[in-house]
Copies of this chain bind each other. A is one copy, B any other.
Amino acid sequence: MRRPRATIRQVAEAAGVHASTVSRALNPETRTMVSEEVVRRIERVALDLGYQPHGMAAGLRRQRSMAVGVILPDITNPVFPPILRGIEDTLSSVGFFSIVANAGDDPERHLAILDQMLARRVDGLILATARRRDAVVERCLAEELPLVTINRTVEQPGVCAVVNDDQRGIRMAVEHVVELGHRRIGHLGGPQELSTGFGRAEGFRAALRGAGIDLEPRRMVFADAYSRPAGRIAALELLGREPKLTAIVAANDLLALGAYDALRERGLRCPDNLSVVGYNDMPLMDLVDPPLTTVRIQHLVMGQQAARLLLDQMQGRSPAAYDVVLKPELVVRASTARVAREAAAA
């Protein structure tokens, strides 16, 4: 049916050499082994014939697939597309490709997906789903599969990660509302099994301390998931517990949007009655109503760095495990405002 592509043997015949010579001539690492003149001849023939090496055949022989697995909760969550873009861009520039799986939140399924990835003989894995203790991570470590976690950190030692400086990010958020006069500040936290949820909650506590504000545990509520519905439910809980809150620092934009929903239901207005700050600065956050004040993280760069880190590992270039920690940036928009005088006095 389909016109087959030229093989290395055809190139060899056309150039009057053996296939192994073609292989050497076309591989930058072995090119020096063959005489310049022959290299030139082979290159010309290869071009004429439109020869493209068959990556999978090469992979079979070399025992590397040139594939890396990317496991994420759900590509439909707007945080991930730019991350994925960064990954794909840097991977494809060096001949690797990625196989992405939408794994959801169920740890059982994560393992099943890891199995599929292993069956495909991926050369490495980028994990955006890691929990603080994670079975997938354990298996990868046992199998000695190169691994980097993204936006997540893991308790097991020896795992590379690219993350944000969440302590700093949350501190910027808290300091921002404190400067606006807020003192009764709540935290709409993320799932505590996730390093981000955990770390941001820690950051919140530390930031309050830094601002000289007493920590009221009932002002911290944790959502089950980083989703808008989970954010709504948790925000409702928070408002129920602490009606006098004047500001909410959310662990994530989606949670902040859920808080918007909750406020609307309660007949409250943001920022008039309550200031809200998000985390991530996903696409379109400048266009929601009100435009969300949030902490911007560098999604694209995260993806690029994760791919770099993984490539280093796969090529044995990384003697010791290390993390890349990215710096966040506060983006002030219209969801935060100076605290109302009566609220401040109350």
Interface residues of A (CB under 8 A from B): 1-5, 52-57, 59-60, 63, 65, 74-76, 78, 80-82, 84-85, 88-89, 92, 97-102, 115-116, 118-121, 143-145, 257, 260, 283-284, 287-291
Contact = CB atoms under 8 A, between A and B. Distances in A.
Given A78-B283, A121-B5, A144-B1, A57 B60 contact: yes
B100 A88 contact: yes
- Copies of this protein chain in the complex: 2
Quick one: which of A85, A97, A115 has the most chain B CB within 10 A?
A97
Nearest to A89: B102
Contact of A84 (B75, B82, B121): B75
Nearest to A99: B97
B115 A284 contact: no
Contact of A121 (B56, B102, B289): B56
20 contacts: A1-B144, A2-B144, A4-B63, A5-B119, A52-B115, A54-B119, A56-B65, A56-B120, A75-B81, A81-B81, A88-B101, A88-B102, A92-B116, A97-B99, A97-B120, A99-B99, A257-B287, A284-B288, A287-B288, A289-B291
B74 A85 contact: yes
Contact of A52 (B92, B97, B98, B118): B118
Contacts of A283: 76, 78
Contacts of A52: 115, 118-119
Contact of A59 (B56, B100, B289): B56
A287 B335 CA distance: 13
